[in-house]
Structure 1
């Protein structure tokens, strides 16, 4: 998502060189990600979509998703989120997983210990874990999988920095040693980098998926992916026997399919589309938090007025982030920084510079009338209304 930026003298900010020097102002979280909803609902874990709790063993569910179907089933190399949304936690499982609130929790590894110096992670694997082809999953598969992710630069390998050694002292234990602490290691192992593959499998990953999850891939095409329940799954069996994921090029076509009852779930949708469907008989909408954010960033390069900390502060006091978030139909809440409530390290900073126009105007009085040059506000078209609101707020500071 593009950032909104202000800059002196009509110049466009040079993002690729300056991005680390930008100061994030606020963000608005929007909708829950497709991957998270699919992962919870289809495997009958605790989740906000209560309709799936009534599924019986022979249930078949059709789900509509806006976007293009993955071109390949190879989750190791296929870029983008579409394949991850369909297969992660449904077909492929990871060493560590995430709960519906994005907290780390056991998966293939039932527990782990971290040394006091943060350099050694010892994982204990669950017993009786098997792949969909019947092969047993043990520590050798974990070591082999991690080594291949790193050696072949598979998607997510960049998150496994500082790895020194991976060993398996026995079939239920994996030890990862680091050169230096990596506080994001467990998070990385809950994503693609942590997928455990079958070392003995000779499958063509582009056309076939062999995982340890509650589903297998029955079929795939340019418009759909069919997931079949894995009845030999080592954990809690899936609530539905078959899930078909249909891909639609636009939100309008997705809504039409829902209205025609061609699908039993549509996700994700804009707030307006969800509200419209929610008014129809037999259709209910639900919502949650995602990682998506709408941000306003200040260019604090030397050529910008916002290189002055006091100008940044007075501008923040003049902008009512609470009201902007409240008026945005897809918004969950205002943020005081770039981290959402689902992410590690989140802290509610929304009240750090609460809306206080009087204080902002008082701070403005310390600067001469022409001290602050004109600024540009660069706004993606879809956020034009928010941009105009911010523009009006800044103008109240006589800028």
Structure 2
């Protein structure tokens, strides 16, 4: 059997880079460059906002955003991914994929230790991917269920044999998608109630020292890290700051060195971009590639009619939403695929605001305006994730009124929102999901009919069903030929854009602010969730 090897391509590229880029390019900010200074400073402390406070740090059990950002320094996966979503080494130093796309062979680093000093071997990979993750991690369960076998020929080799081709499999090994878990601490235990969950043991460059609930999480350098000389930092403190105004002030005053995701409200971004001590970027979110939308319950009339959903699409100005509500953060979404996600078709033309078309579609449905100009009334429940989402709800209410759709705004807390949406107890809500680098991992789950699962959040909660969409997603997921796979994904995008199962809003961009004292912070497509092994503090 012939194999395509990543290892030699990676080493060759690294060698060329070392020759071609001896120092940081002045056009690339050092905090988002994977290059290093000639002699990076060792030591220092970094203070990072974390909000909300993670419920736990056992990344296999919880993959909420704040958990990923903190635990990504403690745990590691076999791979990580660059901003183009191509795989890079992590705990695996090299890998091969067979020509038929069925066999993935990983070679592990041989000198890795868990934080308690025990060796990391293929036994831990087998345990993580055949026992722990399939029981507790829904995305990992689906990915590894595609394996006919997972075997370990020796202590530092793992072989995944798939039942059928699944090209997206190579993107299933990022730290939050498949964190490696220590078999010696978890095997034969109740995973969810294991005492080790309170004191996570990983292989990463930082170890948990202290967690003062409601105040901070303190990580310290792993002195036994398997990469000589790394990490550079001595400490990372994750500071819990619940109030948005206080977070912005802490960043502006230098009390904290970094913010990410939704830490900073969009209306504060422009002001903070002018702070001379801070760098700003929206890079580092290519792997999650979020798309926001209006989620529509197809079980409720007239929302089940695609003409009504198209009317909503035509009634709103998504450029206004981007510029005035998100203050320029994001791009208008053309359809279901983020432009960073594999398979995106750039020929898809976004819907433009057209009030006349919206009214014509409603007329075609027989929805004539009454004496007050109202054709239909719908309930909109904005997601309870901050002031910006509430502002969006108010804007949508005003925009849809222009075409005769009256909107009743509903409010709820996070727990209530999740409960209602997952159990289909809503009409319209706002939402966004992550795409995880490949449509087979993060896009299809929203639209395929076999993922209509009551009580399960971020499934096909709309109840949308189109056999053609099911067929195309299923065929594309197992197609090895890139051109054929792209043709299928292009076709499914066109079908979905015509059906408008949801009203796509923006390819979201999250603002990351980092103190200019720190270098090498955003280096891959998973950004702030990376290990921070190579982050260093500038010399005074």
| TM-score, normalised with respect to structure 1 | 0.72
Q: Which protein, 1 or 2, shows the higher relative CO under an 8 Å CA cutoff with sep ≥ 6?
A: 1
Q: Which residue of 49, 54, 66 maps to 1:64?
A: 49
| Partner residue, 1:378 | 380
The CA RMSD measured in Å over matched residues stands at 3.7
Counterparts of residues 177-326 of structure 1 (less than 5 Å)? 177-182=161-166, 184-192=168-176, 194-200=178-184, 205-222=196-213, 223-235=215-227, 237-267=230-260, 268-280=263-275, 282-288=277-283, 289=285, 291-301=289-299, 304-326=301-323
Aligned partner of residue 206 in structure 1, secondary structure: helix
Counterparts of residues 62-101 of structure 1 (less than 5 Å)? 62-70=47-55, 72-78=56-62, 80-88=64-72, 90-100=73-83
| Partner residue, 2:104 | 121
Aligned partner of residue 197 in structure 2, secondary structure: coil
Distance 1:47 1:247, change over 3 A: farther
> Using the alignment, how far apart are the partners of 1:316 and 1:138 within structure 2?
52
Aligned partner of residue 294 in structure 1, secondary structure: strand
Distance 1:149 1:201, change over 3 A: closer
Q: Which residue of 88, 108, 117 maps to 1:105?
A: 88
Distance 1:68 1:369, change over 3 A: closer
Structure number with the higher helix fraction is: 2
Contact 1:155 1:192 in 2 (8 A): no
> Using the alignment, how far apart are the partners of 1:352 and 1:256 within structure 2?
38
Contact 1:334 1:350 in 2 (8 A): no
Q: What is the Cα deviation at residue 49 of structure 1?
A: 3.5
| More deviation, 163-172/257-266 | 257-266
Q: What is the Cα deviation at residue 338 of structure 1?
A: 4.0
Task: Say whether 1:141 aligns with 2:124.
Answer: yes
Give unpaired runs (5+ residues) of structure 2: 1-27, 187-193, 406-540
Q: What is the Cα deviation at residue 313 of structure 1?
A: 3.5
> Using the alignment, how far apart are the partners of 1:51 and 1:273 within structure 2?
25
Aligned partner of residue 326 in structure 2, secondary structure: coil
| Partner residue, 1:355 | 353
| TM-score, normalised with respect to structure 2 | 0.55
| More deviation, 235-244/354-363 | 354-363
Count of equivalent residues? 351
Aligned partner of residue 167 in structure 1, secondary structure: strand
Spell out structure 1 runs of 4+ moving beyond 6 A. 51-55
Give unpaired runs (5+ residues) of structure 1: 1-45
> Using the alignment, how far apart are the partners of 1:219 and 1:385 within structure 2?
38
| More deviation, 211-220/366-375 | 366-375
> Using the alignment, how far apart are the partners of 2:31 and 2:236 within structure 1?
15
Counterparts of residues 46-65 of structure 1 (less than 5 Å)? 49-50=31-32, 56-65=41-50
> Using the alignment, how far apart are the partners of 1:385 and 1:207 within structure 2?
38
Distance 1:319 1:96, change over 3 A: same
Contact 2:124 2:183 in 1 (8 A): yes
| Partner residue, 2:325 | 328
Contact 2:325 2:391 in 1 (8 A): no
> Using the alignment, how far apart are the partners of 1:154 and 1:384 within structure 2?
31
> Using the alignment, how far apart are the partners of 1:384 and 1:329 within structure 2?
12
Q: What is the Cα deviation at residue 317 of structure 1?
A: 3.3
